[in-house]
């Protein structure tokens, strides 16, 4: 894998759930390194299904997923999961050890890294999310905003090339939301942000994808898309206040 490669690519990906529901239909997307992309759409549009395809949580039925130009297959799954880090909406799904340091160390240890390397990664990740001093606290003793940041640190410790964030600002109070936005903005990584927080999309991302009923219906400059009232309303979205100023 090399830095000149594309970061992520979906080629004509379709996915149908066992009950026959078409969750994705013929979705093709190319994301280059260093892009920051918002993934927008109403509830049930297919955003979570698309995210699940990016590191093999959901097995592709039709089409191809490539990470840094490497097709995602059973043989490449472990490598791809090191390159694509997914931070889920609910941090409690990612924090299960007796301390957040152990939660953050879990992935690097599974890579077989030397304990000194694991310690370095944990220290850097905790510092990056502003939780230095809380290393020995269990996740259950953190505030919700701190849990969100600890879950992000657990993924950052894997040093992914691509960071996928699922609703990073959901259920945060105004201060927690601001801190999360500042933190995400500071990260030097290719970014895909699935969010209903359209102000966050406006602030963080230069490009936006709109998905509805499993189909990609718009792909372009984030500000142009977020200002397009007809497009937004027709797909169950609202124009954010920043786009109206």
User: Among 119, 131, 39, 40, which residue's Cα sits nearest to residue 91?
Assistant: 131
Per-residue pLDDT tens over the stretch 62-98: 999 999 999 999 999 999 989 999 999 999 988 999 9
Output the CA–CA distances (angstroms, integers) from residue 40 to 135, 161, 185, 210, in the order listed: 34, 22, 18, 5
DSSP β-ladder status, 62-67 and 70-71: antiparallel
Per-residue pLDDT tens over the stretch 16-67: 999 989 999 999 999 999 999 999 999 999 999 999 999 899 999 999 999 9
Alpha carbons 159 and 243: distance in angstroms, whole number: 34
Give the CATH H-level superfamily of domain 8-244: P-loop containing nucleotide triphosphate hydrolases (3.40.50.300)
Q: Indicate if the pLDDT at residue 151 is higher than 80.
A: yes
Q: What is the pLDDT of residue 183?
A: 94
* 188, 42 Cβ separation under 8 angstroms: no
Alpha carbons 132 and 111: distance in angstroms, whole number: 24
Per-residue pLDDT tens over the stretch 186-225: 999 999 999 999 999 999 999 999 999 999 999 999 999 9
Q: Indicate if the pLDDT at residue 3 is higher than 90.
A: no
C-alpha count within 13 angstroms, C-beta hemisphere, residue 95: 26
Alpha carbons 184 and 25: distance in angstroms, whole number: 30
Q: What one-character-per-residue DSSP string does 10-22 give?
A: EEEEEEE-TTS-E
* CB-CB neighbours of 74 under 10 Å: 8
Output the CA–CA distances (angstroms, integers) from residue 67 to 14, 72, 190, 236, in the order listed: 17, 7, 12, 30
Q: How many residues does the structure list for the chain?
A: 245
Q: What is the pLDDT of residue 4?
A: 65
Mean pLDDT (the chain) is 94
C-alpha count within 13 angstroms, C-beta hemisphere, residue 118: 15
Alpha carbons 208 and 192: distance in angstroms, whole number: 9
What are the structural domain ranges in the chain?
8-244
* Measured distance between the N- and C-terminal CA atoms of the chain, rounded to whole angstroms: 43
Q: How does DSSP classify residue 161?
A: S
Q: Indicate if the pLDDT at residue 130 is higher than 50.
A: yes
Alpha carbons 36 and 190: distance in angstroms, whole number: 6
User: Among 140, 152, 6, 136, which residue's Cα sits nearest to residue 69?
Assistant: 6
Q: What is the pLDDT of residue 36?
A: 97
């Amino acid at each position: 894998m090399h830095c000149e490669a594309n970061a992520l690519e979906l080629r004509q990906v379709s996915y149908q759930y066992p009950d026959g529901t078409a969750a994705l239909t013929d979705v093709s997307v190319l994301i280059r390194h260093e892009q920051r992309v918002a993934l927008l759409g109403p509830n049930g549009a297919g955003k979570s299904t698309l995210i699940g395809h990016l590191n093999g949580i959901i097995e592709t039925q039709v089409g191809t997923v490539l990470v840094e130009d490497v097709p995602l297959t059973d043989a490449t799954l472990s490598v791809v999961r090191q390159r694509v880090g997914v931070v889920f909406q609910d941090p409690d799904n990612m924090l299960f050890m007796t301390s957040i340091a152990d939660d953050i160390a879990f992935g690097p240890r599974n890579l077989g890294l030397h304990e000194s390397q694991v310690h370095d990664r944990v220290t850097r990740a905790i510092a990056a999310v502003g939780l230095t001093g809380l290393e020995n606290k269990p996740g259950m003793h953190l505030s919700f905003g701190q849990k969100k940041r600890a879950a992000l640190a657990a993924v950052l410790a894997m040093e992914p090339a691509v960071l996928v964030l699922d609703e990073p600002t959901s259920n945060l109070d105004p201060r927690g939301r601001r801190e999360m936005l500042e933190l995400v903005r500071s990260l030097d990584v290719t970014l895909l942000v699935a969010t209903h927080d359209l102000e966050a999309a406006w602030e963080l991302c230069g490009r936006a994808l709109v998905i509805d009923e499993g189909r990609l219906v718009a792909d372009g400059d984030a500000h142009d898309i977020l200002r397009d009232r007809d497009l937004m309303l027709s797909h169950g979205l609202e124009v954010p206040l920043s786009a109206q100023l």
